[in-house]
Structures are given as C-alpha cells and as structure tokens.
Amino acid sequence: MATLRLGDTAPDFTAVTSEGTLNFYEYLGDSWGILFSHPADFTPVCTTELGTAAKFKDEFDKRNVKMMALSVDGAASHLEWIKDINETQNTEVNFPIIADVERKVSDLYDMIHPNADDTLTVRSVFIIDPDKKIKLTLTYPASTGRNFYELLRVIDSLQLTANHKVATPANWEHGEKVVVSPSIPTEEAKGIFTKGVEEVKPYLRLTPDPSA
Ligand code: BEZ
C-alpha cells in the first residue's frame, strides 16, 4: 500500500456493497467520483454524514458526480444502518456503501491511520476525475463530520479549472470572480477572458467566472 497523491490513478477494485457486488470503475463510468470512508456503522457522526450526502445527491448529479461510501462493517449491518439513517435523517440513502470487512479497499486507499485507530477507517475523501485521476484528498478525524458544501465547492472549482485557464481564490463559490492563471500574460488574458480582466497586481489578475 503506497500513499495516494494528487494526480495518481485511483486504484480500481471490486467490492461487496450495500447495493451488491460492484466494480468501482464500472460504477463510475465517465462520471466524476467521490469515495469517502467512515469509521463504523451505527455511529452518530457517520449517520449524519451519510444522510447529508444522500440529501446532496441532486447537486452531485448536476455535476456528474457519483458517490460511493465505505465502512469496515458487513453488508447486512449496512442495510440495517441505512434504515436508521433514512429514519433519523429524513432521507433515502441513494449510493452504495462498501462493506470492507477485510479492509481491502481501506488498505488500497490508505484509509486506516494506526496512530488514530488501528482498526477503523478515518474520514477520508477522494475526488476522482473522469480519467480516474485523484484530484483531491481529505483526511478528517473520527470526531469531526465533513462539510459537504465544501465538497460541492471543490467539485465546482475542479470542473471550472479543468476547462478554463483559471484558478479559484480563497472561499470562492460558483459565480464569483476567479484568478487568471499565472502562466498567461495580462495582454493575452484580455483576449481570452472577454468579460474583462482586472489587474490588481501583475501576478494577481481577476476575471468574472467564465462559466457563469
Ligand atoms: C461517529 O461517527 O460518530 C464516530 C465514529 C467513531 C468515533 C467517534 C465518532
């Protein structure tokens, strides 16, 4: 197991999930992907996270993103837990949860951090592009639930910057001004970004979101 870094190819696997046996690459198809792990079934923070992820599915669908979760318990346990998630979070879990009892996928993605807990997965997130390259990794401790608005925001940034020579500034959200890539001289940028280029400093040029 090697640490996975940005730009690495996301390893493929076939795993038992709450929706049957699935091959990861086949499941993703040409979509973007979010693979995210949870410490264990029937735990409070995880219950809120999976419910939140389910409620965000429409937003992920709009961005062509498919979700797959992982927990180190078995499929029968996942199915029982899903009933609780649906009941308590007022939703329907609408993506598969890997039943990683043998820790195969957890090991492949280095989701167990022995100095935090040597048996349970931490809260890892991998965002994967349609070429199966890893575009973002996040690692949260068990005690901190993730922010799914942030995952949507990062997806918006990744999809924008994949198609335009821009970067997104601190706390950027879809529709706000973006930064012109440093590799483009300002005069050239004015020809590319027809909505206008504001030169705050020679190295800091802003332009309206080209996708908005
Ligand atoms: C939770 O999901 O609530 C949780 C899981 C493991 C440790 C602490 C909290």
Looking at the DSSP bridge assignments, the partners of residue 112 are 121
Q: Encoding tokens for residue 201?
A: 């400093």
User: Where are the chain's structural domains?
Assistant: 8-147, 164-207
CA separation for the pair 43, 67 (Å, rounded) = 20
Q: Is-contact 180 191, C-beta < 8 A? A: no
The continuous run of DSSP H or E covering 184 comes out as none
Report how far ligand 1's centroid is from the alpha carbon of 55 (Å): 20
pLDDT digits (tens, 9 = 90+) for 171-198: 999 999 999 999 999 999 999 999 999 9
CA separation for the pair 127, 66 (Å, rounded) = 10
The pTM of the full predicted model, rounded to 2 decimals, is: 0.95
pLDDT beyond 70 at 104: yes
CATH number of 8-147: 3.40.30.10
Domain 164-207 has what CATH class? alpha beta
CA separation for the pair 44, 137 (Å, rounded) = 23
Q: Whose CA is closest to atom 1 on ligand 1?
A: 45
Does any ligand 1 atom lie closer than 6 A to the CB of residue 51?
no
pLDDT beyond 80 at 164: yes
Report how far ligand 1's centroid is from the alpha carbon of 197 (Å): 47
Catalytic site residue from 10, 15, 46, 158:
46
pLDDT digits (tens, 9 = 90+) for 109-145: 999 999 898 889 899 999 999 999 999 999 999 999 9
